[in-house]
Amino acid sequence: PAIIVFDPQNPRMKEYKGIEYFPVDLSYRYELPLTRAPRPEKMVLMSTRGNQRDAELVGRFDFLVDQTPCGLEVSRLLEPGSGEENLSVFFTDATSGKETYKLGRYVDVRKLSNGKYLLDFNTAYNPACAFSDYYSCPVPPKTNALAVSIRAGERDSHYH
């Protein structure tokens, strides 16, 4: 749970010019089977404020970016308001800290009617901590550091 307050008189509000995105690129949109963890496994994600965030390792996606094999862990935060189907991928890639937010980005994953899952990097977004130090955002696990560039989704806000 959180309370978000915007102060329209804050001088930083004048700096805000909106959110920038890479052009939509459907080559970064995947319909994938989820390789489930043999049994759901509790894990701890650290947050930007040094807190531990309980999560469940649900499984993993394996896919190609161009011809490079990649894999990402899929998790579910074990927090109020996070349902069984609220799956996320917290990741970094070769654009992190250059073209995209240095901490990394998030992608929400949804199950499709065919049993596969949609992993669409065009919907990748920056965590709230990209805009303010007052947020406590999950830090992507080291296992989700991609060596390739994912030039899709939200770019660095440059406002933090």
Greater model confidence, 129 or 52: 52
Q: Is the pLDDT of residue 76 over 50?
A: yes
How does pLDDT run across 111-131, given as a tens digit for each residue? 999 999 999 999 999 998 888
CA atoms 127, 115, 149, 41: torsion sign: positive
**pLDDT score recorded for residue 159:** 52
Helix (H) or strand (E) holding 4: none
Instruction: Specify whether the CB–CB gap between 70 and 148 falls below 8 A.
Output: yes
pTM of the predicted model, to two decimals? 0.89
Q: Is the pLDDT of residue 139 over 60?
A: yes
Going along the chain, which residue ranges are E strands? Answer: 29-32, 35-46, 52-65, 68-77, 87-91, 105-111, 117-120
**pLDDT score recorded for residue 160:** 45
Residue range 106-113: average pLDDT? 97
